[in-house]
Amino acid sequence: MPVIAIVGGQWGDEGKGKVVDLLAQKAGVVIRFSGGDNAGHTVVNPYGIFKMHLIPSGIFSPYTVCIIGNGVVINPPVLIDEIDELNQHDVDTTRLFISDRAHLIMPYHLLLDGLEEESRGGKALGTTRKGVGPAFTDKAARLGIRSGDLLDKEVLLERLRFILDYKNDILTKIYGISPLSLDDIYRQYCQYGERLAPYIRETAIMLEEALNQDELVLLEGAQGALLDPDFGTYPYTTSSSPLAGGGCLGAGLGPTRINRILGVFKAYCTRVGSGPMPTELKDETGDLIRERGQEYGTTTGRPRRCGWFDAVAARFSNRINGFTGVAVTRLDILDNLTRLKICIAYELDGHTIDYFPANLNALDRCQPIYEELPGWQAPTTNIRQYEQLPVEARQYLTRLEELIYCPINLICVGPDREQTIMKTPIV
């Protein structure tokens, strides 16, 4: 059985949660490998509607082991609430495990996320202010506290004392606010530790065992390729890699182990937060897509910026991920449109280019060059066979395959698990 990385091909919110929930039915292990509770993966299945922020979307599959990998940063109270909510809906969480190497979001991360955003003024990044960026900063600065530290109260106290002195200096001297109390944070995190201890493990071994037993393993990405800190619209990016390559690091397995990489794309584009988006529609069509697609952030409720499918960005995403297949979600949102556009190249300062510029000023100046296709103007939500899709919808999908340089494996025509068309098998 293969290892499949399931990653966002655009700016996040592509519907990875739905795809993972679907494929998890056959999986031995699902492991979330990046981000934090800034992600919000919506899953609609027989248990109900869930917004998963930290727990892998495979948790609904009764035999699947779900792991929060070392590449995720965890805010303990958020995770505890998520576990409680699942349990209230009779979802079993005894198969959930947390890597002892996953870093923790601490109260000063939450404070600093807000303070740093405010100090950026008009250049704010539009973060979710959930402390995710500051926690990854501390990971790189060797100032992090990891979930495994919760299992040893002496280690936790020593580490927290050292780090909090430094953080309190920043809070008081730079931002002029009151220091945080060591005692309060220590006591609080000891309680979290007691609650989370049964879940915390050395998880790389669990993965290896699953691979040795030839089980299907899914690596669940968060956010999307265009938010990658190296390749995305830096600095308007996220702080951990959402790419398939990030899956190796954030789950704890070598690159040779990944067999398939499924890029998840919406049939159009959306983006939350600041930063360039060449195909953004600030007109009635953009509003129409937003309202029909209910394009408001799962985590923040912010309206998403909507636009036509950007094939230049999608090809770039394929280049840096190496997709073996693509999942196209939300095709149904386009059902009513008379004409559709796909951006096939950019015009930059009088030249036609077909790459995604690193320079944000250049990307901002890029004007999309569109190809127009007819809409299908028929409902697709009840269709389950590719051949039954209207000819114009198939034409649109075929064009996407040609432009992304990658075959489409599956198409989603609604949020429910069964509203899926398997075009070519993945497993």
DSSP-derived 3-state class of residue 111: helix
Pick the catalytic residue: 37, 41, 113, 138?
A: 41
Q: Specify whether 41 is catalytic.
A: yes
Cis? peptide before 407, omega within 30° of 0: no
Task: List the one residue from 393, 412, 421, 426 that touches ligand GDP (CB under 6 A).
Answer: 412
Asked whether position 40 contacts ligand GDP by CB under 6 A, the answer is yes
Using CB under 6 A, pick the residue from 113, 415, 421, 423 that binds ligand GDP.
415
DSSP state of 146: B
Q: How many CB atoms lie within 10 A of CB 156?
A: 21
Of 3, 4, 5, 18, the one binding ligand GDP by CB under 6 A: 18
Q: Is 32 in the site for ligand GDP (CB under 6 A)?
A: no
Report phi then psi at 293, rounded to 5: -90, 0
Is residue 53 flagged as an active site residue?
A: no
Q: Least separation, in Å, of the C-beta of 8 and ligand GDP?
A: 6
Residue 14 interacts with ligand GDP (CB under 6 A): yes or no: yes
Q: Does 245 bind ligand GDP (CB under 6 A)?
A: no
- Burial grade of 18 (CB within 10 A; 0-12, 13-18, 19 or more): buried
Indicate whether 103 belongs to the interface with ligand GDP (CB under 6 A). Answer: no
Whole-number minimum distance, CB 316 to ligand GDP, in Å? Answer: 19
Q: Which range of residues in 21-29, 188-196, 314-322, 325-333 is near ligand GDP by CB under 6 A?
A: 325-333
Q: What phi and psi values does residue 190 have, to the nearest 5 degrees?
A: -65, -40
Closest approach, Cβ 17 to ligand GDP, in A, equals 3
Q: Which helix (H) or strand (E) holds 20?
A: helix 16-23
Amino acid in position 369: I
Quote the tokens at residue 245. 């390559």
Residue from 10, 16, 219, 228 in contact with ligand GDP (CB under 6 A)? 16
Cβ-count burial 325-340 (b if 16+ within 10 Å, e if not):
bbbbbbbbbbbebeeb
Sole binder of ligand GDP in the list 66, 333, 389, 393 (CB under 6 A): 333
DSSP string, 77-91: HHHHHHHHHHHHTT-
The CA R_g of the chain, rounded to the nearest whole Å, is 22
Does 37 interact with ligand GDP (rule: CB under 6 A)? no
* DSSP designation for 272: -
> CA nearest 103: which of 164, 150, 157, 38?
150
193 vs 273, which CB is nearer to ligand GDP? Answer: 273
Stretch that binds ligand GDP, among 15-23, 62-70, 88-96, 103-111 (CB under 6 A): 15-23
Kindly tell me which residue out of 413, 421, 423, 426 binds ligand GDP, with binding defined by CB under 6 A.
413
Give yes or no for residue 215 binding ligand GDP (CB under 6 A): no
Which residue, 193 or 293, is less far from ligand GDP as judged by CB? Answer: 293
Binding-site residue total for ligand GDP (CB under 6 A)? 21
Q: Using alpha carbons, list the distances in angstroms from residue 381 to 234, 299, 331, 388, 415.
A: 37, 26, 9, 11, 9
We find the least distance from the C-beta atom of residue 314 to ligand GDP, in angstroms, to be: 15
Structure tokens at 120: 């950026």
Q: Is 44 in the site for ligand GDP (CB under 6 A)?
A: yes
- By CB under 6 A, tell whether 330 contacts ligand GDP: yes
Instruction: Give the DSSP letter of residue 406.
Output: S
Residue 32 vs 129, nearer CB to ligand GDP: 32
Residue 10 and residue 307: Cα distance in Å, rounded? Answer: 12
Helix 391-404 / helix 311-321 crossing angle, nearest 10 deg = 50
Measured between alpha carbons, how far is 237 from 138 in angstroms, rounded to an integer?
17
User: Which of 329, 346, 376, 426 forms a contact with ligand GDP (CB under 6 A)?
Assistant: 329
Looking at beta carbons only, is 263 or 414 nearer to ligand GDP?
414
Q: How far is the CB of 188 from ligand GDP (least distance, A)?
A: 29
**Cβ pair 187, 220 in contact under 8 A:** no
Per CB under 6 A, 298 contacts ligand GDP: yes
Contact residues toward ligand GDP (CB under 6 A) are 8, 13-18, 39-42, 44, 298, 329-330, 332-333, 412-415
The catalytic site residues sit at 13, 41
